[in-house]
């Protein structure tokens, strides 16, 4: 993709994101507040406030997956959706859209230390959608699952009015052992903060072809005790504060240590989102050993120590993606 094409795609993606949410400006006529005036996290807090009501719920809202006690095994539950014009452009290859739709859920299983199981797929399509496009969509899903695990066991199809954007929703069940389970809330002051891979530049196509870090998580949780973890979907500037807050900590980062995708600026690495890399913390005394053993085990995938959790006030970070307040 040359510079002109990339610029056009960036503009098109931004316009479609803005158009889809141009009703969510915070207030509408008569003073009625809209979801655009809240943003993701406050909206979820209002809709899902209060503790989980079941003793079987080990982890509820606020993490990458819900965790349910199921005998000796812990069950992971996750649902996710991709929408045309928000998560992919109308001209995006259907196979890559399918890959992304299921890989996002697999990435959340990885972020909890788990592995994938059964998936249910819901697709909402207009009658004009070419059958070939739908078949390619499912081919992309199947290819991702063949490589990384998981199986489609059912779902739902429904129609949309002509011209409405296509939507694919994926609900999944995974599993994790108690020993391998990692949540966002286990970090401690003094922990080292790491990220896998390189950040930024997702609009160049990485968001449609990323690898969920299941293999890396299996190795990490087998050989190290991770304190807190999540995947980077909304950008480091949005997700690191979430992890630190849930762990009851502040954070300090070295901005010049943030690993960037080729051609990406620091601001893009912080804010572009849809990196789907791992963000995790580990005790400082284990960090040196981790860096050495990681480079031996995964020589082609960078692992970067970018800072630490603290008892002090966090560094100031701005940016990141919010579904209801970000205009582009």
Mean pLDDT of 37-66: 74
How far is the C-alpha of 124 from the C-alpha of 22, rounded, in Å? 22
The 8-class DSSP code of residue 156 comes to E
Same domain, 294 and 197: yes
Please tell me whether residues 144 and 211 are part of one structural domain.
no
Residue 5 falls inside a structural domain: no
For 46, residues 6+ apart whose C-beta sits below 8 A from its C-beta are 38
The answer as to whether 2 is a domain residue is no
Place of tokens 């509408």: 28
What confidence score (pLDDT) does residue 23 get?
36
| pLDDT interval class at 93 (50, 70, 90) | very high
Q: Which residues of 242-251 are buried (b: 16+ CB within 10 A; e: fewer)?
A: bbbbbbebbb
The larger pLDDT score, comparing residue 26 to residue 167, is at 167
Residues 196 and 134 in one domain: no
Distance from C-alpha of 253 to C-alpha of 112, rounded to nearest angstrom: 23
For every residue of 69-131, DSSP letters joined together read EETTEEEEEEEEEEEBTTTB-TTS-HHHHHHHHHHHHHHHHHHTT-EEEEEEEEEEEETTS-H
Q: Domain containing 108: what range?
A: 54-176
* Close Cβ partners of 59 (under 8 Å, ≥ 6 residues apart): 65, 66, 67, 183
Q: Are 121 and 231 in a shared domain?
A: no
Radius of gyration of the chain (CA): 20
pTM exceeds cut of 0.75:
yes
- Write the CATH number for 122: 3.30.1330.10
- Residues 304, 197 share a domain: yes
268: CATH: 3.90.650.10
Number of domains in the chain: 2
53 confidence band (pLDDT: 50, 70, 90): low
Q: Has residue 73 been placed in a domain?
A: yes
Q: What is the pLDDT of residues 170-205, one digit of tens each?
A: 999 999 999 999 999 999 999 999 999 999 998 888
Residue 147, C-beta contacts closer than 8 angstroms, at least 6 positions apart = none
162 and 242 part of one domain = no
Q: Is residue 154 predicted with pLDDT exceeding 90?
A: yes
């Amino acid at each position: 993709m040359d510079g002109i094409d990339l610029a056009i795609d960036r503009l098109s993606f931004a316009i479609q994101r803005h158009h889809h949410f141009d009703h969510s400006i915070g207030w509408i006529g008569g003073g009625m507040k809209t979801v655009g005036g809240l943003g993701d996290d406050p909206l979820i807090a209002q809709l899902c406030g209060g503790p989980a009501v079941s003793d079987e719920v080990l982890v509820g809202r606020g993490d990458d997956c819900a965790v349910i006690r199921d005998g000796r095994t812990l069950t992971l539950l996750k649902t996710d959706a991709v929408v045309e014009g928000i998560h992919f452009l109308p001209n995006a290859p259907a196979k890559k859209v399918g890959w992304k739709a299921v890989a996002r859920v697999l990435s959340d299983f990885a972020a909890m230390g788990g592995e994938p199981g059964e998936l249910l797929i819901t697709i909402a399509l207009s009658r004009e959608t070419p059958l070939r496009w739908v078949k390619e969509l499912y081919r992309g899903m199947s290819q991702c699952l063949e490589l990384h695990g998981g199986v489609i066991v059912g779902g739902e199809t429904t129609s949309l009015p002509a011209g409405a954007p296509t939507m694919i929703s994926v609900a999944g069940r995974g599993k994790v052992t108690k020993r391998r389970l990692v949540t966002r809330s286990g970090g401690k002051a003094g922990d080292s903060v790491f990220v896998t891979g390189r950040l930024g530049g997702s609009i160049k196509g990485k968001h449609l072809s990323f690898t969920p870090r299941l293999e890396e998580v299996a190795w990490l949780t087998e050989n190290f005790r991770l304190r807190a973890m999540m995947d980077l979907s909304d950008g480091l500037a949005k997700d690191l504060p979430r992890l630190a807050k849930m762990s009851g900590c502040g954070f300090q980062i070295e901005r010049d240590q943030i690993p960037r995708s080729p051609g990406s600026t620091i601001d893009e690495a912080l804010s572009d989102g849809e990196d789907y890399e791992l963000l995790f913390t580990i005790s400082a005394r284990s960090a040196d050993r981790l860096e050495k053993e990681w480079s031996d085990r995964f020589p082609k995938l960078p692992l970067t120590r970018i800072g630490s959790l603290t008892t002090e006030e966090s560094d100031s970070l701005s940016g990141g993606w919010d579904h209801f307040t970000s205009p582009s």
